[in-house]
Amino acid sequence: MVHSTEALGVGTQVSAYLNDTYLEQVDTRVIAVGEKDGTPWAAVEHCLFHPQGGGQPADRGWLEDTEIIPVRDRESGLVVPTVPEGGGLSPLAEGQKVRARIDLRVRTTHAALHTAGHLVEAVGRMQGWEMVASNHFPGQARIEFQAPRTDTRLTDPEGREEVTAVLRAAVAAAVADDLPVFARCLADGRRVVHLDELHSAPCGGTHVRSLGDLAEVALPSLKVKKGRIRVSYAATHVPHTATQASCTGTHLPYAAPHVPHPACQAPKRVGAIE
C-alpha cells in the first residue's frame, strides 16, 4: 500500500510492513519531519513499522539507534514514528538516508497471534456464528461472535466444552494442512488476507507465510455473556532463523505467497500532518 504525500510536497510512503512480514531492516530516506504536541516525528519512505490498529499492537522499532513508537496520523494516513515520552529523535532532515529496523521476535509474535485470530474466526463461522469483535494482543487474544440462531450447545458447560473441542479440532487440522496465507487487494484498494480457500477478510495486519508457521495454538476457553460467544486463544510462531534482510529504493522483497495487487499501489491523496 502506498500513501501519496503530494500535499506535503514530498514523495510517497510505502507500507513495507505489509509487503514482507519478515523484513527486519530497511535503508530508506526521510520524507517529512515535524513536531506534534511537543513530540518530534519523522516519516520515512519505506515504512517498516506496523502501527497499533485492527486489534494488533504496534511494532517495536528503531530509526538509526533511537527507539520509536509508530502511530498512524489519521489525517494524512502516514505512519509516523514518534519517540517515547521523555525521549528525542536525533536531528533528521528531509531526504536524509536512515536505517529502520524492527524487533523481529515481537513482529512474529504479533503476526502469529493475528493469523491465529483469523483462523479462530474461520472455524467459528463454520458453526454459523458471526464475528463482532477481535483482540490480537498477547495475553488478551480473543474473538467474539454472535449466533444468529439459538445454539443449544452453548447453554451448559458440557455443551460449551463440546463446541470448543470441535473448534480445536478444526484449528489443528488447518495448521496440520499448512494452508498458505496471502494477501490480495480488491479493485477499490482494500487489502484482503486469505487463509487459502478456508477464509478471507479485509485486514491491514501482519501475518505468517502459512498456517504451519503457527505453534502452540490453544483455545483454552469459550464463554457466553450477554449473547456474545467469546473464544480466547493463544499462539506462537515456530522457531525460525532470522535473516537480516535489507531493502533500498523501491524494489521490495515480497515474501511469497504474498501477492501485491496494482490497486494496492495506487497513490492516495492525503492531507497535511498537523
Burial class of residue 187 (count of CB atoms within 10 Å of its CB; 0-12, 13-18, 19+): exposed
> What's the pLDDT at 267?
32
Judged by DSSP in three states, 18 sits in: helix
Q: For 56, left (φ over 0), alpha (ψ -120 to 50), or beta?
A: beta
Pairwise CA distance, residues 147 & 12, whole Å: 43
> What's the pLDDT at 77?
80
Pairwise CA distance, residues 160 & 168, whole Å: 12
Cβ-contact 265, 1 below 8 angstroms: yes
Pairwise CA distance, residues 239 & 112, whole Å: 12
**The residue type at 76:** S
State how far the alpha carbon of 20 is from the alpha carbons of 16, 88, 217, in Å.
6, 28, 23
Cβ-contact 42, 80 below 8 angstroms: yes
State how far the alpha carbon of 153 is from the alpha carbons of 15, 132, 145, 161, in Å.
44, 20, 15, 9
Strands 46-47 and 12-15: parallel
Judged by DSSP in three states, 121 sits in: helix
Q: Residue 170 is inside which H or E element, if any?
A: helix 157-176
- What predicted TM-score, i.e. pTM, was given to this entire model? 0.83
* Short-list 164, 158, 200, CA closest to 182: 200
Length of the chain: 274
> What's the pLDDT at 259?
38
Pairwise CA distance, residues 87 & 80, whole Å: 15
Cβ-contact 248, 27 below 8 angstroms: yes
Q: Residues 107, 229, 150, CA angle at the centre, nearest 5°?
A: 150
What are the phi and psi torsion angles at 108 (to 5°)? -70, -30
Residue 266: DSSP 8-state: S
> What's the pLDDT at 262?
37
Pairwise CA distance, residues 154 & 127, whole Å: 12
Cβ-contact 175, 212 below 8 angstroms: yes
Pairwise CA distance, residues 102 & 48, whole Å: 7
Rg of the chain on CA atoms, in Å? 20
The rounded average pLDDT for each run of 10 residues, N- to C-terminus, in the chain (274 residues) is 40 89 95 80 92 94 90 82 73 91 96 98 96 96 92 91 97 98 93 97 96 97 93 94 41 34 36 29
